[in-house]
């Protein structure tokens, strides 16, 4: 997101899941909000893999800012399964099956 290396769909997808996550945390009694957040997290794992694999620049054009931007995107991708696990635990606590 920082370096405009990824298309706008990368930012829109991740920020919209973040907005649904804020909604799910604020509205503690809603089962639909937490389920939408979990679905969005799992969907962005797939789309992040596609974005990183398609838009990874060649070594000739890899500056420090691009390298940091890709590193943060990969770090975010690695943390999403962990956060999905915790969101699933919240889903189970709220009465999901």
pLDDT in tens, 57-72: 888 888 888 889 899 9
Residue 95 clears pLDDT 90, i.e. is over it: no
Residue 96 clears pLDDT 80, i.e. is over it: no
- The 3-state DSSP class for residue 66 equals helix
The pTM is what?
0.86
- Integer Cα distance of 92 and 7 in angstroms: 35
Q: How many CB atoms lie within 10 A of CB 49?
A: 12
Task: Answer yes or no: are the C-beta atoms of 51 and 74 closer than 8 Å.
Answer: no
In the chain, where the domains are located: 9-59, 61-96
């Amino acid at each position: 997101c920082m370096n405009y290396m990824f298309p706008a769909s990368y930012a829109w997808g991740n920020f919209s899941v973040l907005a649904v996550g804020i909604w799910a945390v604020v509205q503690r009694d809603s089962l639909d909000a937490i389920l939408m957040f979990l679905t969005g997290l799992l969907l962005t794992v797939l789309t992040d893999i596609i974005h990183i694999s398609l838009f990874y620049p060649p070594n000739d054009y890899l500056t420090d800012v691009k390298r940091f931007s890709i590193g943060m995107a990969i770090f975010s991708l690695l943390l999403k399964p962990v956060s999905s696990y915790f969101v699933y635990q919240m889903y189970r606590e709220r009465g999901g099956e």
